[in-house]
């Protein structure tokens, strides 16, 4: 039986119209959600938020982070209450893309991917100042969701939180400004998830980007992913429509997927695994599907992450690979 397909978000197209046209042409009836490709400045999914820090008078540059991003801190003597972010650009981009999406009469939902405040702040703020700046960024990001869902019917939306820093925090590679790490991460993600209106779909994309960007070794198994997913399933008070777990580069044996035995999925939650990789094609995807199927039968397929960094001339091949792997 064919497996469902999830497109994570970013695609190497010029604009949303081109992304929607390409997805429609290849995936008509095979995907439930259409991302706009996260085109333009959003193609660099964390870096594009740097500008929003540079415009705040009480924040100043603090050098370059471990992943090469501009780093910021509070100016000396400034109270944290003085931090207030202007619109971040997510709502404006969503409204522009929805204009194109609404021209299509399909049953799919418009999918919006958002980086968590913890991911953005870990990427752009000096460790010593994250506690002062994160609350203001979260407040502004939640206001972006309010603006999106006021302008776009929630029953046409799938809002996907992209979790990157959260996993490297759990692995002990990133320090955070709160002591009870697991509880602190869960509490933040519950707030984000429950701010999504009930009529909209909620997706959680577990991401490897923080590992690759910062040179951390990728997890050897899905243990931490399953721990976090189980915690969220027990705490989030609204529907969770789908989860996505990535797969690392190279061969992925049964041990990587073994923790799926203890994954406590809700009845309404779809699971997608990032088995599709251009490096080893259909044979590699099928090998990972077989390995995962030893521990869980019902799952859809996806790439490890967004595809915006792929050369535009190669994107057709990997999109077709999704279809071939799904069967």
In a domain, 11, yes or no: no
In a domain, 152, yes or no: yes
Q: What is the pLDDT of residue 87?
A: 95
C-alpha distances out from residue 262 to 15, 182, 219, 225, 296, Å: 41, 18, 17, 11, 10
Q: What is the pTM of this model?
A: 0.94
Q: What is the pLDDT of residue 97?
A: 96
* Tokens standing for residue 287: 């090998």
- By DSSP bridging, strand 59-64 and strand 70-74 are antiparallel
Q: What is the pLDDT of residue 77?
A: 79
Q: What is the pLDDT of residue 264?
A: 95
In a domain, 3, yes or no: no
CATH code assigned at 289: 3.20.20.210
In a domain, 320, yes or no: yes
Q: What is the pLDDT of residue 212?
A: 66
In a domain, 8, yes or no: no
In a domain, 319, yes or no: yes
Instruction: pLDDT tens for the chain, 327 residues: list them.
Output: 899 999 999 999 999 999 999 998 899 889 999 999 998 888 777 788 888 988 888 888 887 876 677 888 888 878 767 788 999 999 999 999 999 999 986 889 999 999 999 999 988 888 889 999 999 999 999 999 999 999 999 999 999 999 988 888 877 777 888 889 889 999 999 999 999 999 999 999 998 776 666 666 677 899 999 999 999 999 999 999 999 999 987 667 789 999 999 999 999 999 999 999 988 899 999 999 999 999 999 999 999 888 888 888 889 899 999 999 998
Q: Which residues span the domain enclosing 290? A: 16-326
Spatial neighbors of 274 by CB under 8 A, at least 6 apart, are 8, 244, 245, 246, 247, 302, 303, 304, 305
Q: What is the pLDDT of residue 249?
A: 74
Beta-strand ranges (E) seen in the chain are 33-35, 59-64, 70-74, 109-115, 157-163, 201-206, 242-246, 270-276, 300-303
In a domain, 309, yes or no: yes
Q: What is the pLDDT of residue 200?
A: 98
Q: What is the pLDDT of residue 211?
A: 64
Q: What is the pLDDT of residue 167?
A: 83
Number of domains in the chain: 1
In a domain, 52, yes or no: yes
């Amino acid at each position: 039986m064919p497996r469902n397909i999830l497109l994570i978000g970013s695609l190497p197209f010029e604009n949303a119209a081109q992304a929607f046209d390409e997805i429609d042409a290849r995936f008509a009836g095979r995907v439930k959600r259409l991302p706009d490709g996260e085109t333009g400045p959003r193609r660099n999914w964390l870096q594009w938020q740097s500008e929003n820090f540079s415009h705040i008078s009480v924040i100043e540059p603090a050098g370059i982070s471990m992943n090469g991003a501009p780093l910021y801190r509070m100016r000396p003597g400034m109270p944290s209450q003085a931090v207030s972010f202007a619109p971040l650009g997510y709502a404006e981009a969503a409204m522009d893309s929805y204009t194109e999406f609404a021209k299509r009469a399909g049953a799919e939902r418009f999918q919006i991917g958002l980086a968590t405040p913890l991911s953005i702040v870990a990427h752009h703020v000096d460790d010593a100042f994250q506690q002062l700046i994160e609350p203001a960024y979260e407040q502004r990001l939640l206001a972006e969701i309010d603006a999106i869902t006021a302008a776009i019917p929630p029953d046409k939306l799938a809002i996907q939180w992209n979790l990157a820093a959260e996993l490297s925090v759990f692995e002990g590679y990133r320090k955070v400004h709160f002591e009870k790490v697991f509880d602190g991460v869960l509490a933040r993600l519950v707030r984000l998830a429950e701010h999504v209106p009930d009529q909209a779909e909620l997706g959680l994309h577990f991401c490897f980007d923080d590992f690759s960007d910062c040179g951390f070794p990728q997890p050897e198994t899905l243990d931490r992913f399953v721990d976090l997913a189980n915690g969220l399933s027990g705490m989030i008070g609204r529907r969770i429509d789908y989860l996505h777990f990535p797969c690392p580069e190279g061969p992925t044996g049964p041990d990587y997927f073994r923790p799926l035995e203890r994954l406590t999925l809700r009845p309404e939650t779809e699971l997608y695994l990032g088995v599709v990789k251009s490096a080893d094609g259909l044979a590699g995807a099928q090998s990972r599907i077989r390995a995962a199927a030893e521990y869980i039968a019902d799952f859809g397929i996806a790439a490890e992450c967004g595809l915006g960094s792929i050369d535009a001339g190669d994107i057709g091949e990997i999109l077709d690979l999704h279809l071939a792997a799904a069967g």
